[in-house]
A = this chain, B = another copy of it.
Protein backbone atom coordinates (compact mmCIF):
# COMPACT_ATOMS: atom_id res chain seq x y z
CA UNK A 1 0.00 0.00 0.00
CA UNK A 2 1.25 3.44 -0.97
CA UNK A 3 0.35 6.63 0.88
CA UNK A 4 -0.81 9.22 -1.63
CA UNK A 5 -1.53 11.88 1.00
CA UNK A 6 -2.26 12.25 4.69
CA UNK A 7 -3.79 15.48 5.94
CA UNK A 8 -4.88 16.50 9.40
CA UNK A 9 -8.58 17.36 9.57
CA UNK A 10 -10.95 17.72 12.52
CA UNK A 11 -8.26 16.26 14.77
CA UNK A 12 -7.96 13.06 12.73
CA UNK A 13 -6.13 12.06 9.57
CA UNK A 14 -7.75 12.07 6.12
CA UNK A 15 -5.60 9.77 4.03
CA UNK A 16 -5.57 8.69 0.41
CA UNK A 17 -3.86 5.42 -0.44
CA UNK A 18 -3.28 3.21 -3.45
CA UNK A 19 -2.33 -0.41 -3.99
CA UNK A 20 -2.10 -2.97 -6.80
CA UNK A 21 -5.26 -5.05 -6.65
CA UNK A 22 -5.16 -8.75 -7.48
CA UNK A 23 -8.96 -8.79 -7.77
CA UNK A 24 -9.46 -5.91 -10.19
CA UNK A 25 -6.03 -6.35 -11.81
CA UNK A 26 -5.14 -2.69 -11.63
CA UNK A 27 -3.92 -0.01 -9.25
CA UNK A 28 -6.77 1.05 -6.93
CA UNK A 29 -7.06 4.25 -4.91
CA UNK A 30 -9.15 4.73 -1.78
CA UNK A 31 -9.60 7.20 1.08
CA UNK A 32 -9.63 6.51 4.82
CA UNK A 33 -10.43 8.94 7.61
CA UNK A 34 -9.10 7.91 11.00
CA UNK A 35 -10.58 9.94 13.87
CA UNK A 36 -8.50 11.08 16.84
CA UNK A 37 -8.12 8.03 19.09
CA UNK A 38 -6.30 7.18 22.27
CA UNK A 39 -3.10 5.16 21.78
CA UNK A 40 -4.03 1.57 20.99
CA UNK A 41 -7.77 2.29 20.85
CA UNK A 42 -9.99 0.62 18.26
CA UNK A 43 -12.82 2.22 16.28
CA UNK A 44 -15.69 0.89 14.16
CA UNK A 45 -15.27 0.91 10.39
CA UNK A 46 -17.95 2.57 8.27
CA UNK A 47 -17.79 1.97 4.51
CA UNK A 48 -19.10 4.66 2.17
CA UNK A 49 -19.79 3.56 -1.41
CA UNK A 50 -20.03 6.36 -3.97
CA UNK A 51 -22.32 6.90 -6.94
CA UNK A 52 -21.92 6.98 -10.71
CA UNK A 53 -18.99 9.03 -12.09
CA UNK A 54 -17.40 9.39 -8.63
CA UNK A 55 -14.02 8.37 -7.32
CA UNK A 56 -12.95 8.11 -3.66
CA UNK A 57 -12.58 11.88 -3.74
CA UNK A 58 -16.10 13.27 -4.15
CA UNK A 59 -17.34 12.33 -0.72
CA UNK A 60 -13.97 13.22 0.78
CA UNK A 61 -14.35 16.76 -0.60
CA UNK A 62 -18.09 17.29 -0.27
CA UNK A 63 -19.55 14.72 2.12
CA UNK A 64 -18.92 16.70 5.33
CA UNK A 65 -18.40 13.54 7.38
CA UNK A 66 -15.18 14.36 9.22
CA UNK A 67 -16.43 16.64 11.98
CA UNK A 68 -18.92 14.16 13.40
CA UNK A 69 -16.90 11.04 12.53
CA UNK A 70 -14.10 12.57 14.62
CA UNK A 71 -16.49 13.25 17.47
CA UNK A 72 -18.14 9.81 17.33
CA UNK A 73 -14.89 7.93 16.71
CA UNK A 74 -15.69 6.34 13.36
CA UNK A 75 -13.19 5.23 10.73
CA UNK A 76 -14.62 6.09 7.29
CA UNK A 77 -13.43 4.07 4.29
CA UNK A 78 -14.25 5.37 0.80
CA UNK A 79 -13.35 3.07 -2.11
CA UNK A 80 -13.32 4.02 -5.76
CA UNK A 81 -16.34 3.07 -7.91
CA UNK A 82 -14.60 0.98 -10.56
CA UNK A 83 -11.27 -0.37 -11.76
CA UNK A 84 -9.04 2.25 -13.38
CA UNK A 85 -6.30 2.42 -15.98
CA UNK A 86 -5.69 2.56 -19.69
CA UNK A 87 -6.13 -1.17 -20.21
CA UNK A 88 -9.51 -1.35 -18.46
CA UNK A 89 -12.38 -1.82 -20.93
CA UNK A 90 -14.62 1.21 -20.94
CA UNK A 91 -17.23 3.22 -22.81
CA UNK A 92 -15.85 6.73 -22.34
CA UNK A 93 -19.01 8.45 -23.56
CA UNK A 94 -21.33 6.40 -21.34
CA UNK A 95 -21.41 7.64 -17.75
CA UNK A 96 -23.63 4.74 -16.71
CA UNK A 97 -21.16 2.02 -17.62
CA UNK A 98 -17.48 1.22 -17.33
CA UNK A 99 -15.06 3.38 -15.40
CA UNK A 100 -16.85 5.23 -12.60
CA UNK A 101 -19.76 2.80 -12.93
CA UNK A 102 -18.66 -0.55 -11.54
CA UNK A 103 -22.05 -1.10 -9.83
CA UNK A 104 -20.31 -3.13 -7.12
CA UNK A 105 -20.73 -6.39 -9.06
CA UNK A 106 -18.30 -9.14 -10.04
CA UNK A 107 -18.59 -9.13 -13.83
CA UNK A 108 -18.78 -12.52 -15.45
CA UNK A 109 -18.71 -11.41 -19.08
CA UNK A 110 -15.54 -10.77 -21.10
CA UNK A 111 -13.83 -8.38 -21.37
CA UNK A 112 -15.27 -6.85 -18.19
CA UNK A 113 -14.67 -9.86 -15.97
CA UNK A 114 -10.95 -9.15 -16.11
CA UNK A 115 -11.21 -5.97 -14.04
CA UNK A 116 -14.78 -5.17 -12.99
CA UNK A 117 -14.97 -7.12 -9.75
CA UNK A 118 -15.80 -4.40 -7.25
CA UNK A 119 -17.94 -6.67 -5.06
CA UNK A 120 -15.09 -9.02 -4.21
CA UNK A 121 -12.56 -6.21 -4.27
CA UNK A 122 -14.29 -4.33 -1.45
CA UNK A 123 -15.56 -7.29 0.51
CA UNK A 124 -12.38 -9.35 0.47
CA UNK A 125 -9.28 -7.56 -0.73
CA UNK A 126 -9.78 -4.01 0.48
CA UNK A 127 -11.28 -5.24 3.76
CA UNK A 128 -8.18 -7.35 4.29
CA UNK A 129 -5.94 -4.40 3.54
CA UNK A 130 -7.81 -2.16 5.99
CA UNK A 131 -7.52 -4.82 8.70
CA UNK A 132 -3.78 -5.13 8.11
CA UNK A 133 -2.76 -1.53 7.49
CA UNK A 134 -5.02 0.29 9.96
CA UNK A 135 -4.48 -1.21 13.39
CA UNK A 136 -7.22 1.00 14.87
CA UNK A 137 -9.85 -0.58 12.60
CA UNK A 138 -12.13 -2.88 14.57
CA UNK A 139 -13.26 -5.25 11.83
CA UNK A 140 -15.80 -6.81 14.20
CA UNK A 141 -17.75 -3.57 14.03
CA UNK A 142 -18.41 -2.69 10.40
CA UNK A 143 -21.24 -0.68 8.90
CA UNK A 144 -21.89 0.31 5.30
CA UNK A 145 -23.66 3.15 3.52
CA UNK A 146 -23.58 4.89 0.19
CA UNK A 147 -25.22 7.14 -2.36
CA UNK A 148 -27.22 6.22 -5.46
CA UNK A 149 -25.22 3.43 -7.17
CA UNK A 150 -23.32 3.26 -3.89
CA UNK A 151 -26.58 3.03 -1.96
CA UNK A 152 -27.39 0.02 -4.10
CA UNK A 153 -23.95 -1.38 -3.32
CA UNK A 154 -24.40 -0.85 0.42
CA UNK A 155 -27.84 -2.52 0.49
CA UNK A 156 -26.59 -5.51 -1.51
CA UNK A 157 -23.42 -5.94 0.55
CA UNK A 158 -25.43 -5.75 3.78
CA UNK A 159 -28.15 -8.18 2.63
CA UNK A 160 -25.60 -10.71 1.41
CA UNK A 161 -23.31 -10.30 4.42
CA UNK A 162 -25.45 -9.59 7.49
CA UNK A 163 -22.84 -11.12 9.76
CA UNK A 164 -20.17 -8.80 8.46
CA UNK A 165 -22.10 -5.55 8.50
CA UNK A 166 -23.95 -4.55 11.65
CA UNK A 167 -25.58 -1.42 10.17
CA UNK A 168 -26.64 -0.17 6.75
CA UNK A 169 -28.10 3.05 5.39
CA UNK A 170 -28.33 4.81 2.05
CA UNK A 171 -28.80 8.20 0.42
CA UNK A 172 -31.10 7.95 -2.62
CA UNK A 173 -30.16 4.35 -3.44
CA UNK A 174 -30.91 2.52 -6.68
CA UNK A 175 -33.07 -0.09 -4.98
CA UNK A 176 -33.88 -2.25 -8.01
CA UNK A 177 -30.97 -1.83 -10.44
CA UNK A 178 -31.90 -4.87 -12.53
CA UNK A 179 -34.93 -3.01 -13.91
CA UNK A 180 -33.90 0.67 -13.63
CA UNK A 181 -33.22 2.65 -16.78
CA UNK A 182 -29.71 3.67 -15.93
CA UNK A 183 -28.42 0.34 -14.60
CA UNK A 184 -29.96 -2.56 -16.48
CA UNK A 185 -27.73 -1.90 -19.49
CA UNK A 186 -24.67 -2.17 -17.29
CA UNK A 187 -25.99 -5.34 -15.61
CA UNK A 188 -26.41 -6.96 -19.02
CA UNK A 189 -22.86 -6.13 -20.09
CA UNK A 190 -21.26 -7.10 -16.78
CA UNK A 191 -23.39 -10.15 -15.97
CA UNK A 192 -24.71 -11.39 -19.30
CA UNK A 193 -28.15 -11.45 -20.82
CA UNK A 194 -29.42 -14.11 -18.43
CA UNK A 195 -31.10 -11.85 -15.95
CA UNK A 196 -31.46 -14.40 -13.14
CA UNK A 197 -27.81 -13.73 -12.26
CA UNK A 198 -28.71 -10.09 -11.78
CA UNK A 199 -30.81 -10.91 -8.70
CA UNK A 200 -27.67 -11.38 -6.62
CA UNK A 201 -26.93 -7.68 -7.08
CA UNK A 202 -30.41 -6.27 -6.59
CA UNK A 203 -31.58 -5.37 -3.08
CA UNK A 204 -35.28 -5.96 -3.72
CA UNK A 205 -34.66 -9.32 -5.43
CA UNK A 206 -32.32 -10.43 -2.66
CA UNK A 207 -35.07 -9.73 -0.13
CA UNK A 208 -37.56 -11.65 -2.29
CA UNK A 209 -35.06 -14.51 -2.34
CA UNK A 210 -35.00 -14.64 1.46
CA UNK A 211 -32.05 -12.42 2.37
CA UNK A 212 -32.62 -10.39 5.52
CA UNK A 213 -31.04 -7.48 7.38
CA UNK A 214 -31.76 -5.99 10.80
CA UNK A 215 -32.99 -2.57 9.58
CA UNK A 216 -32.31 0.13 7.04
CA UNK A 217 -32.26 3.94 7.05
CA UNK A 218 -32.88 5.54 3.64
CA UNK A 219 -33.05 9.27 2.88
CA UNK A 220 -34.46 10.35 -0.47
CA UNK A 221 -34.96 13.89 -1.79
CA UNK A 222 -38.34 14.44 -3.39
CA UNK A 223 -36.81 16.93 -5.89
CA UNK A 224 -34.36 14.29 -7.10
CA UNK A 225 -34.58 14.07 -10.90
CA UNK A 226 -33.78 10.36 -10.83
CA UNK A 227 -36.52 9.47 -8.36
CA UNK A 228 -39.19 8.12 -10.74
CA UNK A 229 -37.12 6.09 -13.18
CA UNK A 230 -33.84 5.39 -11.45
CA UNK A 231 -34.33 5.20 -7.70
CA UNK A 232 -37.95 4.25 -6.85
CA UNK A 233 -37.59 3.77 -3.08
CA UNK A 234 -41.17 2.48 -2.90
CA UNK A 235 -39.93 -0.79 -4.40
CA UNK A 236 -37.62 -1.24 -1.42
CA UNK A 237 -40.46 -0.29 0.89
CA UNK A 238 -42.69 -2.98 -0.65
CA UNK A 239 -39.98 -5.60 -0.40
CA UNK A 240 -39.13 -4.67 3.21
CA UNK A 241 -42.79 -4.63 4.21
CA UNK A 242 -43.36 -8.08 2.72
CA UNK A 243 -40.30 -9.41 4.52
CA UNK A 244 -40.82 -7.61 7.83
CA UNK A 245 -37.51 -5.75 7.53
CA UNK A 246 -37.74 -2.43 9.37
CA UNK A 247 -37.09 0.40 6.90
CA UNK A 248 -36.92 4.02 7.95
CA UNK A 249 -37.56 5.74 4.62
CA UNK A 250 -37.53 9.52 4.85
CA UNK A 251 -38.69 11.56 1.89
CA UNK A 252 -36.87 14.90 2.21
CA UNK A 253 -38.84 17.77 0.69
CA UNK A 254 -36.97 19.93 -1.81
CA UNK A 255 -33.71 17.97 -1.86
CA UNK A 256 -32.05 16.79 -5.06
CA UNK A 257 -29.52 14.06 -5.84
CA UNK A 258 -26.34 16.04 -5.11
CA UNK A 259 -23.81 16.23 -2.32
CA UNK A 260 -25.78 19.21 -1.00
CA UNK A 261 -28.41 16.61 -0.11
CA UNK A 262 -25.95 14.00 1.15
CA UNK A 263 -24.04 16.44 3.36
CA UNK A 264 -27.29 17.70 4.86
CA UNK A 265 -28.21 14.27 6.21
CA UNK A 266 -24.69 12.95 6.79
CA UNK A 267 -24.88 13.61 10.54
CA UNK A 268 -28.07 11.58 10.90
CA UNK A 269 -26.49 8.64 9.08
CA UNK A 270 -23.29 8.72 11.10
CA UNK A 271 -25.31 8.71 14.31
CA UNK A 272 -27.47 5.85 13.00
CA UNK A 273 -24.37 3.75 12.38
CA UNK A 274 -22.61 4.73 15.58
CA UNK A 275 -25.60 3.65 17.64
CA UNK A 276 -25.44 0.21 16.02
CA UNK A 277 -21.67 -0.29 16.04
Known: A62-B61, A62-B62. A256 touches B8 (CB 8 A): yes
Q: Please pick, from B67, B264, B267, the residue contacting A9 in the complex, using a CB distance under 8 A.
A: B264
- The smallest C-beta distance from A54 to any residue of chain B, in angstroms, reads 13
Task: Verify A7–B260 contact, CB threshold 8 A.
Answer: yes
> What is the minimal beta-carbon distance from A231 to any residue of chain B, in angstroms?
17
Q: How large is the interface on A (under 10, 10 to 19, 20 to 34, 35 or more residues)?
A: 20 to 34
At the interface, is chain A mostly helix, strand, loop or mixed? mixed
Cβ proximity bits A2-30 to B, threshold 8 Å, 1 near / 0 not: 00000111110010000000000000000
Q: Min CB distance, A74 to chain B, in Å?
A: 16
Report if A200 contacts B (CB, 8 A). no
The answer on a CB contact under 8 Å between A11 and B264 is yes
CB closest chain-B residue, reference A61: B62
- Bound Cα distance from A11 to B267, whole angstroms: 14
A97 to chain B: which residues have CB within 8 Å? Answer: none
Point out the residues of chain B lying under 8 angstroms from A9, CB to CB. 260-261, 263-264
Q: How far is the CB of A127 from chain B (nearest CB, A)?
A: 26
On whether the beta carbons of B8 and A263 are closer than 8 Å, the reply is: no
A94 at interface (Cβ–Cβ under 8 A)?
Answer: no
Q: Given the complex, which residues of B lie within 8 Å of A264, measured CB to CB?
A: 8-11, 66-67
Q: How far in angstroms is the closest Cβ of chain B from A52?
A: 18
- A258 on the B face (CB < 8 A): yes
Chain B residues with Cβ below 8 Å from A272 are none
A216 proximal to B (CB < 8 A): no
Contact with B along A113-126 (1 / 0, CB 8 A): 00000000000000
Roughly how many angstroms separate A7 CA and B10 CA in the complex, as a whole number? Answer: 26
How far apart are the CA atoms of A221 and B8 in the complex, in Å? 10
A254 within 8 A of B: yes
Residues of B within 8 A of A14 (CB): 260
Choose among B7, B10, B66, B67 the residue that contacts A258 (Cβ–Cβ < 8 A): B7
Check A226 for interface membership: any CB of B closer than 8 A: no
CA distance A134 to B223 in the complex (A): 23
Most B-side CB within 10 Å, residue of A9, A14, A223, A263: A9
Give A262's nearest chain B residue, CB to CB: B9
